[in-house]
Amino acid sequence: MRGLLPILLLVSLMLASLGCGSVFVNANFQASTISGTVSLVQLSSVVTGDGTTVVVTFVTFFQTGGSTTVGFCGDQRTQFPMDQFIRANFTPGQSCASIVEIVIT
């Protein structure tokens, strides 16, 4: 019963705010993390499914046992210095990933 009260309060707040105009609620439960030493950073562009072009920064992370490349939205080259160990939290997307947090160690 205790867990029901916060849910009811949240629903009540959302319903009350509907009269205030535009309301946007976003809950992100699909954040991902990658870490490794930056071995390659390349700026490129990608054509999306609807024909628009998006600038994407491809970053290759070297990890024990291999490497992984992730495409981040926009020109993010300054966020990824070469030969630095970085942990990147991001939200995956259709054409590119949106950065949530970058930690350089």
| Average pLDDT, integer, range 2-27 | 48
pLDDT reported for residue 102: 97
Report the alpha-carbon distance of residue 92 to residue 54 in Å, rounded: 15
Average pLDDT over residues 58-85: 96
Q: What is the mean pLDDT of residues 74-98?
A: 96
Which class in CATH covers the domain with range 32-104?
mainly beta
What average pLDDT does the chain have?
A: 82
- Please tell me the predicted confidence (pLDDT) of residue 103: 97
Using a pLDDT cut of 70, give the percent of the chain over it: 72
The 10s digit of each residue's pLDDT in 28-65 is 457 999 999 999 999 999 998 899 999 999 999 999 98
Give the model's pLDDT for residue 3: 52
> CA-to-CA distance for 38 and 68, rounded, in angstroms?
10
> For 3, how many CA atoms within 13 A lie in the half-sphere containing its CB?
0
CB neighbourhood size of 101 (10 A): 10
> Using alpha carbons only, what angle is made at residue 61 by residues 57 and 66, rounded to the nearest 5 degrees?
135
